[in-house]
Structure 1
Amino acid sequence: MNAEWFQQQLALKRLSQRLLARYLGLDPSAITLMFKGKRRMQLDEAARIAEFIGAPIEDVLSNAGLVLEGIRSKRINIVGHIEHNNRLVEDEVSTQDTFIVPSNIPEGTVGIRVLNTLSPLHRAVLYFRKENIVDAGSIGRLSIVTLPNGEAYLAYVDRGTEPGLYNLKFIGVEGCDKSVPSGGRPFPLDDVLLKNASPILWIKP
């Protein structure tokens, strides 16, 4: 953990660790422990930190020490891409390439490429294993979610006000966009039904 780099990035933007903690929904002590190397940064946290400080995701990952730990080469199918509105578009023909992934990536994992210039994840490859349910591991994490109309999106998932309902927060989306399922309403989406949700397992810049 290169804490000095993170502190410099916060200082350049005139931001504080407390504001970062609030943005991530964490106690300020969790940020302190993370910068001291006593708490491991999670991948979804890295993506949100990149958005918060306006830095490339690869810089956040490398300075957090998340790039080179426990990795190996593996052939992964790239099955689609994320558009500017965070919608997942499945490619008609999947491509396959060799990627560096963590050793614990499960079988059945596929990749999607982010093509959203507004997102800190632009051009990154995200790995996930598609689930047919709302995976409990997707709560509080960046995930691929499918709405009742069958459209799939990249979003952070939190529990809604009632059982079976969920709140979605999108990154790299400005204002309203009538091409997204909110019907032009501002983000985030609150108390929506989901067909399934699959957490992002790894991010390759």
Structure 2
Amino acid sequence: MKPDVDWFRRKLEEHRLSQSGLGRMLGIDKSTMSLMLAGKRKLSLTAAADMARLLGVTASDVMEHMGVRVDGIKAGGAAAPQMLPFEGWIDDTARVQPESGAGKRKRMVDIGVNVEPGSTAWQWRTPQTKMDILDGWIVVSGARREPDDRMIGRGCVVGTKSGEILLRTIRRGYTPGSHTLLGLGIPESAEVEVEWYAPILLMKPATA
């Protein structure tokens, strides 16, 4: 499979980047970038994760549009499954409850695919609620980021300056420095100040 050059061109335009500008941000020279987009030079998982962060997509998106099949990667395959720290529970209002236990060693979750460094796993705990259908599903979020324009319109785990952690889609607020948070049939919230966000990379059923 050849790289989808048109897809990369669209993503670069969305972020007002040139091919050479993206290469500079990745520490990749112009000729190497050209070879990658021509399918003549392999893209490492590390470079894919960095490129995904800059383009506001997942590492899987980057790899697939580079012509690499990344679905269903298992141990012993081209890339080993990734163990992620389990961070907490998501309730039926999409509020996140960090796993309790100070000093407790974090549990690790095998999500079966490689994602960007710093990613974490969460799990829906919603039995006998309106969100029962999602009970047990795993949510994988990317590394925490400081607020920026790339979070607008994306589903994210969001940390607010008031101390809440929520699973929401972020919209621009009506006053400088504020945002509104939407999601899952929940009415638009009051304006909040976002402390950090972690984009949702994937969601999948829990495996036995």
Instruction: Label 1:192 to 1:204 Cα distance change in 2 as closer, same or farther (>3 A).
Output: same
CA distance in 2, matches of 1:202, 1:153: 16
Aligned to 1:90: 98
CA distance in 2, matches of 1:161, 1:87: 23
CA distance in 2, matches of 1:71, 1:188: 38
1:129, distance to aligned residue in structure 2 (A): 3.0
Q: Deviations over 1:152-184 (max 9, x none)?
A: 1111111122332111113165xxxxxxxxxxx
Q: Indicate yes or no: 2:151 matched with 1:138.
A: yes
1:112-123 superposed matches below 5 A = 112-116=122-126, 117-119=129-131, 121-123=134-136
Instruction: Label 1:114 to 1:135 Cα distance change in 2 as closer, same or farther (>3 A).
Output: farther
Aligned to 2:10: none
Aligned to 2:189: 189
Q: Deviations over 1:61-117 (max 9, x none)?
A: xxxxxxx7364522111111112222111113421132212x4x1111110001134
Aligned to 1:106: 116
Instruction: Label 1:126 to 1:137 Cα distance change in 2 as closer, same or farther (>3 A).
Output: farther
Task: State the Cα RMSD in Å.
Answer: 2.7
Aligned to 2:77: none
Q: Which has the larger Rg?
A: 2
Question: Could you state the TM-score of these two structures normalised by the residue count of structure 2?
Answer: 0.52
**Higher RCO, Cα 8 Å, sep 6+:** 1
1:121, distance to aligned residue in structure 2 (A): 3.5
Q: Deviations over 1:105-135 (max 9, x none)?
A: 1111110001134335332111113425124
Which secondary structure does the structure 2 equivalent of 1:97 belong to?
Answer: strand
CA distance in 2, matches of 1:106, 1:132: 13
More strand, by proportion: 1
Contact 1:76 1:109 in 2 (8 A): yes
Query: What are structure 2's unaligned runs of at least 5 residues?
Result: 1-56, 59-69, 75-80
1:113-192 superposed matches below 5 A = 113-116=123-126, 117-119=129-131, 121-171=134-184, 173=186, 187-192=187-192
Partner amino acid for 1:158? R
Runs of 4+ in 1 over 4 A off after TM superposition: none
